[in-house]
Chains A and B, each alone.
Chain A
């Protein structure tokens, strides 16, 4: 092989090696670090992972927000209007967190209560994240299939 070709070969191999390593790392990291979003109905149906972080999306149920006085802990309920999951969060809630608004929380299930590490509320008050809207739509859809499941589908 002449030197120019040899050099090009080395460079090409280096590039391919780097790309392969980068792709491998990326895919590995992606698989380790994705979190899935579930609606309360899905969590209730046992679809959410056990002991593993996931995101719970829905609406903050009216009358459910309750502060543990003098501490930073807040308890509330997230609902998709069919199923509800109690949530506990210690920290400062975002500005747009309020009852009747959509929210996405990240955390883990612990004895039937969702322990949230982060609470996200969108800063446009009228705006519902597409994911939450979908979760609610999906919950509605699933609950309409059995005809007796009409509890509280007022939304």
Chain B
């Protein structure tokens, strides 16, 4: 197929998105039904053309069409087919196209599932999404066209960056973008409500499932990225406070705050203004993330060569979207805000504390991430801010949140009984102390390990007590509605994550060693025996492959084969070999030949490292499960002006069911 067709498809999509932005909003403003009715078809039309462009680019990769510059730069004849296809989003231009496609998927999902929203509101939502799409398509066409031709046509491509030749590339960018872009829906709902001057906050209930699903995907994307970095970057870390990780973490923090703020607004009609603001910021941080990654302004593992035009465009776009939204907010918010207040001792207060800590943490991450840029702009010098800044501060900010977390679900809306808090506190402390003692008896040593065990128990026992409370107090069949189940899963996931993060850090044994063939080294309770290095081959690389036999008490556990690959383009890539387990990972990665037949090796014993990602998976499931709640399967509203609404995001629902 002709790549120029892809270009034409993108231009057509741009035109449609321009119309999608203008017509439905004018229609909603004028009360013009035919204009409003264009929303759905324009969105679907745009999707068709973007999907066509995406398909054409994929086809160009599949058929090794190296006359397309993007394909020539990121593919190779000997590249395995699944990497050829995922190479579509392996670099700048294609990943923007993926971003666009996912935005269209969300919009179409909204058209299909949100058809029963009030017509004017629905038109505004689709119009706002059209505006977002217009900006991105314009950006792609003017600065990042993936269909540019190359002449003369090279006989072979330059190959995909070896770091990206990994299953991680297949999952990480699409899921991450599903999350990033998913926040555009909550954003569009918020802007539409401001545009329409909705006095009621019913829109929040409609927005909640979308926010939860987007956050679930974002969690999954971050987990996938973290796991990928762990085994691919070759030194076994799982979080580096790299600017690009921060870029994905900031919308995650705001998204988590938004989920809770939306729940308060939906159920108690409080915090209306705050929910609006968070809806704007969740998406603003998604855009900022895209900007930070794509502009190449920051030094990071993801940084691409600097392209000023691209950076400036996104910066302007960001300014328009965020500035415009905040302006609209300032103009309209006084009209829509208000709502109920609540007692100091209530579930709301605890949720507000959580919100506060999450947003402050986000501000802290933002400060540390942008500080080097500020330093450069002010000519203070070239500064870097690393883990010593982020780590301790994040810990300090999250401590109150973790401490308060078990009490939120246990207390009542509006006004809580202090006696309930006291009983809960006594029980949770008791459980945490018992867990600490058990941990000590089993063999946990050092205050850090004990801290990990008690903190995780603290959170999980809150979830358990909530489950027991519901079991006792609620009638059969109504004990665990999906909304609560999602909350319990996510909170439980936080407990699992805490255990993983702290125990991995305190119990890991990590050694960089030099070994000659036949040598042994003890790592924790394990014995690593090095059997030397042999040559081997893959489809598009040569590799030096080490053989390491791991035994414990003389019993052989596993034989690992870490590799040092040299790809056809000359790039070198270390592939760590990992024996993964629920309770520990054994990790070997090959360094260099360092003379006298010896090799340098990294040999690690990393207990509980899987719990870090396991916790993330629980949080993701929590986000997905909430969507199934009856609350969001809206019945006919009582008030005449709120028309019957039905919101059943089917796809995520199936996903969630499939995974529980």
A positions within 8 Å CB-CB of B? 4, 7-8, 10-11, 15, 18-19, 22, 25-26, 29-30, 32-37, 55, 67, 69-72, 91-96, 104, 122-127, 129-131, 134-135
Contacts and interface: CB of A to CB of B under 8 A. Distances in A.
Interface in B334-361: 341, 343-344, 349, 352, 356-357, 360
The 4 closest A-B pairs by CB, nearest first: A92-B591, A37-B382, A69-B595, A33-B389
Interface stretch (B1-9, B171-179, B476-484, B566-574): B566-574
A18 B386 CA distance: 23
Given A35-B383, A123-B161, A123-B163, A95 B573 contact: yes
B199 interface: no
Nearest to B383: A34
A22 B397 contact: yes
A104 to B, nearest CB: 8
B305 interface: yes
Contacts of B356: 15, 18
Chief secondary structure at chain B's binding surface: mixed
B592 interface: yes
B384 A26 contact: no
Interface in B73-94: none
Given A125-B570, A130-B296, A131-B299, A70 B393 contact: no
B542 interface: no
Given A7-B341, A25-B393, A92-B600, A34 B384 contact: yes
B344 A72 contact: no
B306 interface: yes
Contacts of A36: 381-383
B453 to A, nearest CB: 27
Contact of A93 (B392, B571, B592): B592
Given A18-B360, A25-B393, A124-B161, A92 B592 contact: yes
Nearest to A123: B163
Nearest to B371: A30
A118 B527 CA distance: 27
Contact of A70 (B163, B382, B514): B514
B451 interface: no
A91 B594 contact: no
B303 A122 contact: yes
Contacts, number: 122
Given A36-B382, A69-B596, A92-B591, 20 more contacts: A4-B341, A22-B397, A30-B371, A30-B385, A33-B389, A34-B384, A34-B389, A37-B381, A37-B382, A37-B384, A55-B384, A69-B595, A72-B513, A72-B514, A72-B600, A91-B512, A92-B601, A95-B572, A130-B306, A135-B382
A67 B594 contact: yes
Interface residues of B, number: 58
A33 B389 CA distance: 6
Given A34-B371, A72-B512, A22 B594 contact: no
Nearest to A34: B383
Contacts of A71: 514, 594
A134 B297 CA distance: 13
B380 to A, nearest CB: 9
A92 B383 contact: no
A135 B371 CA distance: 19
Contacts of A18: 356-357, 360
B514 A95 contact: no
A127 B305 contact: yes
B364 interface: yes
Contacts of B388: 29, 32-33
Contacts of B381: 36-37
Given A35-B384, A69-B595, A93-B591, A30 B299 contact: no
B594 A72 contact: yes
B393 A131 contact: no
